[in-house]
């Protein structure tokens, strides 16, 4: 299914001749949005376009019923415990883009409904009389303005200013919208609105039930008691990275999933999503969750400052929600390439660890991993975990190669990536836009410091070393390669993929800048493999990011 869904992107990158940015175009999303928009447009215009005196009123009424019928869809796509996601085998955050586009089409449909009525009333000099005599008109106008604000406020610029404030106003706006719609829509069509109210209520109940189920634990044995939260130890690696270990969690999760955390220590902060950086122990019912948290603003900065004040003994109460998220079945591919920037390692490390510790690796025969970090210490939490699994690679017949690229003085990891000239076109990609503090899963944060212009930065200083950190862990030096300076991602990918037949999976987690480089490289390699007769063995691209 994953390979089939990737077909439109593969088609464009191979057979459509055009600029290189075409390889990074979200083809599947674009096709989905266009089809849905055309479908709604067809429903509004079918047999209603007749150039007579009733044209405006006919289109306005048709748009009214079509708009009311759409009301439940944006709500259903925003539900965290998502029935559609369960049917499709995906998670709520990977459907959020569709929620936003469904809302925009809903708004456009409502605008057609109201716009044609207002035009008709103004043309007949009847607008103010309509407002005074028809009670449902004012609630309808109010609903339109609320909907317009709701759609406008979801633009990334507004979401990133203060995400917590965005969440609060978004909930208030949605509640007011439903109230105005109930007052506006005639009784014989209120069923559609009550369906949306029911979906909203379902979301509230399921969002509330999950943290209660995950955090409330009653013990009735020898020492009866009630636990309402988890104990978590918090340690600051430096002012840019915080490690959190949540103890004695009574559930399991899959690699790549995330949880939302909230602490009464920072009671005014909203719950925050983080990718789980480790895999569960299958032999134990009690688990420890490890999180690597990039310091930005809001909760992440407060956590880091609190950890530095508290020292190595810092602990706090944490309430968990989740786990959420879904990932492909990596074992169906012969060759896997994992690329992460900054705390994107929280995603690829559990994937690698799971592949090397499972009973059967499936079809996997080769794994190549690239960590891009600003400081060597930022990679240590990930290397410490995979060091225990690397020793099994040879036993399982898997060739595993790990590369850690330390950008050191670069302003951001993203800028180091953008300077990569290994791509055959040597074109420079656009600079990554700033990302908000709480909008995204923290595995995607890319903040660092400016890049040095020294000569060393232009040349990777590669040295295979045996790592031994304070934790005392070591592993085969031939499996790990350290580099300094900007990483040559395109070169790394070409070496990892090679020209050997076999299905390849490339996964990237690290934000817009690194995604663009990886997408462009995958597009080029797809075209080359097709020309070499290897097109049947396609390259599947998985982009792990948050669309919240």
Is 446 within the bounds of a domain? yes
> In terms of domains, do 169 and 208 share one?
yes
Backbone angles phi, psi at 405, to 5 degrees: -100, 115
Q: Are 245 and 378 found together in one domain?
A: no
Give the range with max mean pLDDT: 17-31, 318-332, 476-490.
318-332
CB 258 within 8 A of CB 322: yes
pLDDT of res. 432: 37
Residue 391: what pLDDT? 80
Q: Are 371 and 301 within one domain?
A: no
pLDDT at 444: 33
Residue found by looking up tokens 């309509």 in the block = 130
Q: Which of 298, 324, 350 is the last residue of a domain?
A: 324
Among 15-24, 29-38, 86-95, 484-493, the range scoring the smallest mean pLDDT is: 15-24
- If asked whether residues 173 and 144 sit together in one domain, one would say yes
3-state helix, strand, coil in the chain (%, to 5): 50, 15, 35
Q: Is 380 in the same domain as 315?
A: no
% of the chain exceeding 70 in pLDDT: 80
Average pLDDT of the residues of the chain: 81
**Residue 65 contacts residue 189 (beta carbons within 8 Å):** yes
Task: Kindly state the helix (H) or strand (E) to which residue 372 belongs, with its residue range.
Answer: strand 366-373
Residue 409: per-residue pLDDT: 60
Say whether both 98 and 159 belong to one domain: yes
Cβ density class 363-380: b for 16+ within 10 Å, e for less: ebbbbbbbbbbbbeebbb
- Residue 144 in this model has a pLDDT that exceeds 80: yes
Domain-embedded: residue 407: yes
Strand partners, 539: 504
- The answer to whether residue 7 sits within a structural domain is no
Residue 159 forms part of a structural domain? yes
Confidence at 404, pLDDT banded by 50, 70, 90: very high
Residues 119, 90: Cα–Cα separation, whole Å: 43
Q: Are 134 and 257 found together in one domain?
A: no
Here the CATH number for the domain that contains residue 388 is 3.40.50.80
pLDDT digits (tens, 9 = 90+) for 184-227: 999 988 999 999 999 999 999 999 999 999 988 876 666 666 77
DSSP run (H or E) holding 58: helix 55-70
> Which residue among 276, 295, 324 closes a domain?
324
Cα(442)–Cα(444) distance, rounded to whole angstroms? 5
Residue 146 lies in a domain: yes
Q: Are 416 and 407 in contact (CB under 8 A)?
A: yes
- Tell me the two tokens of residue 125: 């000099």
**pLDDT-based confidence at residue 437 (cuts at 50, 70, 90):** very low
Within-domain flag for 82 = yes
Does any domain span residue 27? no
- Are residues 408 and 472 located together in one domain of the fold? yes
Looking at the predicted structure, is the pLDDT value of residue 352 above 70?
Answer: yes
Give the range of the structural domain holding residue 174, as residue numbers without chain letter.
47-212
Pick the last residue of a domain from 324, 342, 364.
324
What pLDDT score does 162 carry?
79
> 296 with 338, same domain?
no
Q: How far is CA 145 from CA 59, 136, 173, 379, in A?
A: 21, 15, 10, 48
Pair (235, 203) in one structural domain: no
- Euclidean distance between the first and final Cα of the chain, in Å? 24
Residues 233 and 199 in one domain: no
Tokens of 504: 């390849």
Q: How confident is the model at residue 511 (pLDDT cuts 50, 70, 90)?
A: confident
**Lowest-pLDDT choice from 22-26, 338-342, 379-383:** 22-26
Flag the least confident range among 20-29, 63-72, 359-368: 20-29
**Long-range contacts, stretch 497-502, CB < 8 angstroms, 24+ apart:** 497/335, 497/337, 497/525, 497/539, 498/335, 499/529, 499/532, 499/534, 500/335, 501/534, 501/537, 502/333, 502/334, 502/335, 502/365, 502/537
Length, in residues, of the chain = 548
Q: Is 116 a domain residue? A: yes
More confidently predicted of 360 and 178? 178
Q: Compute the C-alpha angle 205/208/212, nearest 5°.
A: 130
**CA 74 from centroid of its chain's CA atoms:** 18
How much is the pLDDT for 344? 92
pLDDT at res. 26? 77
What is the tens place of the pLDDT at every residue in 25-76?
Answer: 778 889 999 999 999 999 999 988 888 888 889 999 999 999 999 999 999 9
Q: How far is the C-alpha of 486 from the C-alpha of 406, rounded, in Å?
A: 8
**pLDDT value at residue 221:** 63
HEC profile for 238-277? Answer: CCCEEEEEEEEECCCCCCCCEEEEECHHHCCCCCEEEECC
> At residue 175, what are phi and psi to the nearest 5 degrees?
-60, -45
Total tally of structural domains belonging to the chain: 3
Cα 525 to Cα 530: distance, rounded to the nearest angstrom: 8
Residue 421 has pLDDT above 60, yes or no: no
Residues 207 and 120 in one domain: yes
**Structure tokens, 120:** 């008709």
CATH number at residue 250: 2.40.30.10
The dihedral region occupied by 322, where left means phi > 0, alpha psi between -120 and 50, and beta the remainder, is left
Q: What is the mean pLDDT of residues 298-324?
A: 89
Please report the pLDDT score of residue 412 as a whole number: 58
Tell me, what's the pLDDT at 190? 93
Widest CA span of the chain, in angstroms? 84
Residue 417 has pLDDT above 50, yes or no: yes
More confident call, 330 vs 282: 330
């Amino acid at each position: 299914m994953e390979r089939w869904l990737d077909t439109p992107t593969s088609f464009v990158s191979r057979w459509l001749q055009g600029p290189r940015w075409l390889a990074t175009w979200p083809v599947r999303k674009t096709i989905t949005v266009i089809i849905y928009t055309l479908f709604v447009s067809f429903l509004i215009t079918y047999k209603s376009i007749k150039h007579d005196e009733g044209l405006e009123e006919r289109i306005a009424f048709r748009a009214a019923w079509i708009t009311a019928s759409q009301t439940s869809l944006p709500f259903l796509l925003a539900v965290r415990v998502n029935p559609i996601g369960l049917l499709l085998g995906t998670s709520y955050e990977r459907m959020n883009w569709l929620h936003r586009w469904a809302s925009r089409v809903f708004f456009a449909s409502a605008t057609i409904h109201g716009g044609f009525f207002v035009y008709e009333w103004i043309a007949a000099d009847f607008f103010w009389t309509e407002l005074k005599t028809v009670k449902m008109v004012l609630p309808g106008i109010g609903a339109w303005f609320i909907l317009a604000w709701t759609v406008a406020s979801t633009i990334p610029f507004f979401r990133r200013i203060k995400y917590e404030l965005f969440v609060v106003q978004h909930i208030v706006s949605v509640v007011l919208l439903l109230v105005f719609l109930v007052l506006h829509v005639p009784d014989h069509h209120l069923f559609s609105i009550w369906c949306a109210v029911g979906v909203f209520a379902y979301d509230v109940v399921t969002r509330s039930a999950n943290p209660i189920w995950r955090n409330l634990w009653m013990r009735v044995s020898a020492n009866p008691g009630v636990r309402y939260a988890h104990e978590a130890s918090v340690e600051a690696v430096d002012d840019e990275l915080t490690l959190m270990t949540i103890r004695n969690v009574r559930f399991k999760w899959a690699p790549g999933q995330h949880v939302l955390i909230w602490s009464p220590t920072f009671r005014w902060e909203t719950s925050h999503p983080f990718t789980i950086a480790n895999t569960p122990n299958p032999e134990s019912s009690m688990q420890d969750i490890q999180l690597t948290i990039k310091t930005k603003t809001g909760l992440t900065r407060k956590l880091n400052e609190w950890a530095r004040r508290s020292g190595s003994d810092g602990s706090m109460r944490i309430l968990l929600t989740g786990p959420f998220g879904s990932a492909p079945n990596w074992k169906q591919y012969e060759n896997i390439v994992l690329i992460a920037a900054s705390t994107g390692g929280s995603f690829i490390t559990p994937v690698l660890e799971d592949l090397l510790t499972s009973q059967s690796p499936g079809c996997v025969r080769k794994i190549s991993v690239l960590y891009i970090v600003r400081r060597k210490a930022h990679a240590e939490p990930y290397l410490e975990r995979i060091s225990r699994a690397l020793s099994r690679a040879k036993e399982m017949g898997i060739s595993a190669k790990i590369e850690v690229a330390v950008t050191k003085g670069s302003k951001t990891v993203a800028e180091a990536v953008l300077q990569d000239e290994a791509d055959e076109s040597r074109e420079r990609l656009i600079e990554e836009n700033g990302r908000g503090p709480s909008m995204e899963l923290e595995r995607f944060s890319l903040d660092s410091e400016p890049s040095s212009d020294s000569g060393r930065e232009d040349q990777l200083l590669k040295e295979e070393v045996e790592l031994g950190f304070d934790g005392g862990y070591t592993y085969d030096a031939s499996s790990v390669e350290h580099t300094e300076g900007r990483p040559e991602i395109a070169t790394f990918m070409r070496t990892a993929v090679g020209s050997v037949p076999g299905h390849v999976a490339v996964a990237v987690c690290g934000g817009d800048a690194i995604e663009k480089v990886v997408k462009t490289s995958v597009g080029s390699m797809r075209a080359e493999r097709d020309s070499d007769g290897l097109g049947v063995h396609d390259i599947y691209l998985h982009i792990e990011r948050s669309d919240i």
